A and B are shown apart, each in its own frame.
Chain A
């Protein structure tokens, strides 16, 4: 699976958009970009994933560059409850078998008043 690079920490004011970047310059054509987050003392929580088109759901938006070498997770109106470690993961989607997610150290997002 392709390696990802994320800033170790970011701050965001409550109510503002949080934009979390991720570099994955060695991503392969069949690899998806996944985002998970982990709130303190909880297990990771799935947020969103995409291949090459931008994606949006009730939690966030995912913007993937045209060359797919980087992406940005956008939380449109951050709240204090969005304070967490955010993990960007790239991996292939294969039918017939599920396999592990490879987590890095992620970005620690601190949302402040």
Chain B
């Protein structure tokens, strides 16, 4: 596709349930980012991949959060034993190069609601 695709668009999870959020970046994009956006706040960085290598995971809030990009294209963000504070929009962004400065393209996000 022409843009970054994220699925599902909406996810409702019961507290304690595991969830998996998918990101399809623009084909050929080297860099991939995950962000978390709470209601009324700006996006906050979670993790960054360059191809299949996870180079920065400093923003992951706990060990319940795990991200992977095994073949350097599609990425999955997994949240184990979800809690109410995990409720947020999860955004994925990709960039064609590993050089900062190119505008990142964001997907529309997955809205996760934990009940």
The answer to whether A binds B is: yes
A49 with B103, Cβ < 8 A, contacts A100-B59, A101-B45, A103-B44 known: yes
B48-72 vs A, CB cutoff 8 Å, 1 = contact: the mask equals 1010000110010000000000000
Task: Give the Cβ gap from B103 to chain A, nearest Cβ, in Å.
Answer: 3
Is B108 within 8 A of A41, CB to CB?
Answer: yes
Q: How large is the interface on B (under 10, 10 to 19, 20 to 34, 35 or more residues)?
A: 20 to 34
Is A44 within 8 A of B50, CB to CB?
Answer: no
> What number of A residues sit within 8 Å (CB to CB) of B?
26
Report A-chain residues with C-beta under 8 Å of the C-beta of B101: 32, 49, 93
Complex CA gap A92/B100 in Å reads 8
A112 within 8 Å of B by Cβ?
no
Task: Give the Cβ gap from A86 to chain B, nearest Cβ, in Å.
Answer: 11
Is B99 within 8 A of A93, CB to CB?
Answer: yes
Task: Give the Cβ gap from B38 to chain A, nearest Cβ, in Å.
Answer: 11
B1-40 vs A, CB cutoff 8 Å, 1 = contact: the mask equals 0001000000000000000000000000011010000001
Complex CA gap A87/B43 in Å reads 10
Q: Which of B30, B40, B50, B100 is within 8 Å of A93, CB to CB?
A: B100
Report B-chain residues with C-beta under 8 Å of the C-beta of A85: 42
Is A98 within 8 A of B107, CB to CB?
Answer: no
Complex CA gap A105/B38 in Å reads 11
Considering only CB atoms, which chain A residue lies closest to B103 in the complex? A46
Complex CA gap A97/B55 in Å reads 9
A104 within 8 Å of B by Cβ?
yes
Task: Give the Cβ gap from B75 to chain A, nearest Cβ, in Å.
Answer: 15
Considering only CB atoms, which chain A residue lies closest to B96 in the complex? A98
Is B48 within 8 A of A99, CB to CB?
Answer: yes
Complex CA gap A100/B97 in Å reads 14
Instruction: List 19 A-B residue pairs with CB atoms under 8 Å apart, sorted by A's residue number.
Output: A42-B108, A43-B93, A44-B43, A44-B104, A45-B106, A46-B103, A49-B103, A85-B42, A92-B100, A93-B99, A97-B100, A98-B48, A98-B98, A98-B102, A99-B56, A100-B45, A100-B56, A105-B41, A105-B42
Smallest CB-CB A-B distances: 9 pairs: A43-B106, A46-B103, A103-B42, A100-B45, A93-B101, A98-B31, A93-B100, A98-B100, A103-B43
